[in-house]
Amino acid sequence: MTALIVISLVGIATLFGGVFNWKGKTLWLAVAGLMATLVLNFMDWNTSYSYFNQMVKFDNYALAFNGILLTSTLLIMLLCSHHYRNVAQNMIADIYGLIIFTLVGGMLMTSYSNLTMLFLGIEILSIPLYILAGSNRADTKSNESAMKYFLMGSFASGFLLFGIALLFGATGSFHLEGIKTFLSNNPSSANNSMVAVGILMLMVGFLFKVAAVPFHFWAPDVYEGAPTLITGFMATVVKTAGFAAFYRLFSYCFADLSGLWVPLLSIAAVLTLFVGNITALYQKGIKRLLAYSSISHAGYLILAVLAMQDQSDSALLFYTAVYSVSTICAFAVLIAIKEVTGTDSIESLHGMARKNPLLGIATTIAFLSLAGIPPLAGFFAKYFLFVTAMKSGYGWLVLIAVINSLIGAYYYLRVINSVFTKNEQAEKIELNWAYNLVLILTALLSLAIGIAPDFLVNLI
Amino acid sequence: MITLFLIAWPLITGLLLFLSGEESARKLALVSSLVQLVATAFLFFSFQSTAETQFLVDWPWVQSLGIHFKVGIDGISIIMVLLTNLLLPFIILSSGLNRYDKSNALYALMLIMQSALIGVFTSLDGFLYYIFWELALIPVYFILLLWGSNRKVTVKFFLYTLAGSLFMLAGLIYLYTQTESKSFDIDAFYALNLPAETQKWVFWLIFIAFAIKIPVFPFHSWQPATYTESPTPGTMLLSGIMLKMGLYSMIRWILPVLPEAADHWDNAVIGLCVIGIIYGAWIAINQKDIKTLFAFSSMSHVGLIAAGIMAANVHGLQGSLIQMLSHGINVVGLFFIADIIYKRSGTREIEHLGGIRSKAPVFATLFMIILLGSVALPLTNGFVGEFLLLSGVYQFNAWYAAAAGTTIILGAVYMLKMYQHTMLGDVQTATADFAEVTLQEKLVLVPIVILVIAIGVYPKPLLDISAPAVNHLLEQMNSYTTYLR
């Protein structure tokens, strides 16, 4: 709880950085604030306190996911100052502030124990994000992205709110506890259309937020138009928070009614995997490729929600952590490439192994990890997820996911191949220290988590 | 601990090699591989010839998921360890023939690959085994990508093998979920006793990975192009050692784990192998390119090894082990010879070659001996293995053995025909100034020739060392099948 208060205060404080023109110090304020929050977050470990009449509950599940959100934001924050170097100093403070407010929303989405809190969390997360998507004001694409994101996001929020209302009507409670008790005391509620429609609407809302097929249409355009850094932020922090919230609600409250939503969610998983991966095959730009890859990873993550088994929360945590780290690494590469070459086509990576070996190695590790090749972390994440799904009897879904990993490997390999393609004009590329730091950290993490996964596996 | 050394040493030296200069890289890699070879010799002499698994290392890795770092060596894996560590110095030496851009990275990848291969051959935990299996793929992928001549072929090879591996992973996960103690330990897998119906489909999930790697007909379509387009060290690693991962894994992870399924599908698999044997040989006869010819010939020979393993009797298994070693030695020699010919004459087309013997008699003689080993002439290494394999297949089914026996006949046909066209006959323009073997080339070819003859004349030590483990494995298999019935 202290973590949440501190990070909110830091967010407000960074806004003053713009007013009083603190320049570079604002970044350090934000970074120091995030680090402090990370420490405070884990100081609550094993306490499981509830606050505000059980509106939020900081159990280990919430704290672990908050750890991922904070770490991802920290890494992205480090990239900020150079990425936004052309933006006026007072505006960049706003961007820091908005990123932190988004994070606050995400932290509520992992820890809610009341559906109104869930809704508040989602809105706190979404509204700053709409602005961030349009933060490249001179670019029409960025504006388009913000507009689309706003419209579709509001739509999704509408679904969620409607679902929450219907559930409240049927069960008389906003509390997860209360809903669960009601549903288990009234097994016949599966036939209650208010419950059924409510659950399905909630599911649709979540699928919108995590960009799963068939509610993914907004994602590629929004991802492409938004400033690259913000795309990376959406693909990691927002997705992680969305899945944490999704899993928390569905595994806790609706496990007994799985007959209602499991078949539909399984179909969504299959569609997400195939559509995401197959469309990614045809992308020429790395940014769009990563957008579709992020859709396909939502498909894998749905497996964890479906598995609903004692280890599936760990599998979800592990997967989102690894996916976030590797994706941030990939986005850091993308940002650097785009700055240097001006394009984000896969060909722009040619000769990268010579031009900047660090960038070459980081790309290789990030994409091999996303493809799920051992001994990188992405492999163990997939493995763990598949095991939990298999234990719950989703062997057929695992087989489909396996086939999709193969399709995924193909387009990830294309990127790696490009890194090692010879390029005649191989002048060296120098990168900003912050980029180097983030590249090294994320690449090392992608490797280290794969070699020593035990800690993260047993975290919750 | 020596097992650990054999895995760690090439990995560490390989990683360090990335930092070394290009000039000294080959020498350093050679030293590293020779140290490894000495360690292997030491291993060989301290190995007790029993069925026991020795030099065991067992550390918990991811305990909550039943994953251990468990490696050890028994009479079966010791032959594979020997194969890997024996061939690597030759492969490194023979790469000196060509100048490779960024050669330190090439040698580094070769050493890392060696580490992964030893890992595959020694791991006794399903998960660890899978990690090493995939890890072996990454260095060879980069070798093919960076120094090979065709990227499309490389990507096809990677995806093909990855596809197999992923199905195997699904199979291994299934086995894991069925174990009582939720463990990947191979002993837990051995104790599974799955119902026959389940075994039958799990078999294909796992076998498909091996079938692609070996390759068994009809999963071979990646192979000829990959072998031809790869840089020679890549081809040698693939054909000499890497495909043996599939063969070895059949012995280790299929026969004792899914005995009932192996018993049920043996006809089908041996049938496929026999088709592959004849098909590979038949295509080899019509090949114009020496390297492609060797590729198809390799496919044909390997089919026989796979058939011998599926026959699951003493001769079949013993023969497969010794033939894996022999095939590795011969194929490295043959691809090196193809490389020498290409380097000197600028072509690998058989019709543009001829009369090399009159220009380079020593070279032609060395080639002849390796070639005879490959066509399994008595008193060469190929004979011991193929004889035992055919005998094994014969005990299983005489008709299959008769069909498989054509490898020897057809092999003699295409090999001798190729030899006649390239080494004998009139000197062509391409071969007009074909130089004699240099000292450096002799350093590779002469030891290979010695091994071809030595193993052919006196294979007993190798057979003795693997016999107890093979017998133990067969007993284990039979006790399960009878138990189930």
Inter-chain CB proximity B64 and A417 less than 8 Å: no
ipTM (interface predicted TM): 0.87
Residue pair B234/B147 in contact by the 8 Å Cβ criterion: yes
Is B158–A453 a contact, with Cβ atoms under 8 angstroms apart? Answer: no
For residue B485, name the pLDDT band (cuts at 50, 70, 90): very low
Task: Give this prediction's pTM.
Answer: 0.91
Distance from CA of A424 to the nearest CA of B (A): 14
**pLDDT reported for residue A157:** 92
> Which residues of chain A register pLDDT less than 50?
none
Tokens (6 digits) for A181: 């008790």
CB contact under 8 A, A420 and B146: yes
Mean pLDDT, residues B24-53 taken together? 90
List CB contacts (< 8 A) between B142 and chain A: 420
Residues of B in contact with A406 (CB under 8 A): 159, 162-163, 166
Asked whether residue B484 carries a pLDDT value surpassing 60, the answer given is no
Among the partner-chain residues B61, B166, B176, the one whose CB lies closest to the CB of A402 is: B166
- A406 vs B163: CB contact, 8 Å cut-off? yes
CB atoms B135 and A374 under 8 Å: yes
The answer to whether B195 and B246 have CB atoms below 8 angstroms apart is no
Minimum distance, in Å, between the CA of residue B452 and any CA atom of chain A? 37
pLDDT category of residue B481 using cuts at 50, 70 and 90: low
Q: Which chain A residue has its CA at the smallest distance from B130's CA?
A: A374
CA B57 to chain centre: 25
* B41-70: average pLDDT: 88
Closest in B63, B127, B151 to A417, CB measured: B151
Residue B104: DSSP 8-state: H
A vs B, Cβ pairs < 8 A, gives 68
User: CA dist B37 to B5, B6, B9, B44, B456, Å?
Assistant: 12, 9, 11, 10, 21
Mean pLDDT of chain B: 89
Which burial class, exposed, middle or buried, applies to B410 when counting CB atoms under 10 A from its CB (0-12, 13-18, 19+)? buried
Nearest chain A Cα to B161, which residue? A406
Angle (CA) A25-A28-A33 rounded to 5° is 130
CB contact under 8 A, A398 and B173: yes
Inspect the interface and report whether the beta carbons of A379 and B166 lie closer than 8 Å.
Answer: no
Residue A296 is predicted with a pLDDT of: 93
Cβ(B415)–Cβ(B346) under 8 Å? Answer: no
- Rounded to whole angstroms, the Cα distance separating A259 from A265 reads 10
Which of B80, B101, B107 minimizes the C-alpha distance to B305? B80
Q: What is the mean pLDDT of residues B198-222?
A: 90
* % residues pLDDT > 70 (chain B): 99
User: Closest Cα of chain B to A236: distance in Å?
Assistant: 26
With a cut of 80, say whether residue B483 has pLDDT above it: no
CB distance B332 to B91 below 8 Å: yes
**Is the Cβ pair A387, B176 closer than 8 Å?**
yes
pLDDT in tens, B149-176: 888 888 899 989 999 998 999 899 889 9
Residue B54 in 3-state DSSP? Answer: strand
Higher pLDDT, residue B399 or A23: B399
Does B251 score more than 80 pLDDT?
yes
CB proximity A413 to B under 8 Å: yes
Structure tokens at B36: 């490894």
pLDDT of residue B482: 59
**CA A249 – CA A318 distance, rounded (Å):** 19
Nearest CA in chain A to B102: A354
Q: Distance (Å) from the C-alpha of residue A359 to the closest C-alpha of chain B?
A: 16
Is 70 exceeded by the pLDDT of residue B141?
A: yes
Tell me what pLDDT residue A192 has: 85
Alpha helices (runs of H) in B47-75, residue ranges in sequence order: none
CA angle at A346 for the pair A344 and A351, rounded to the nearest 5°: 105
CA distance A437 to B239: 41
φ/ψ (deg, to 5) at A78 = -65, -30
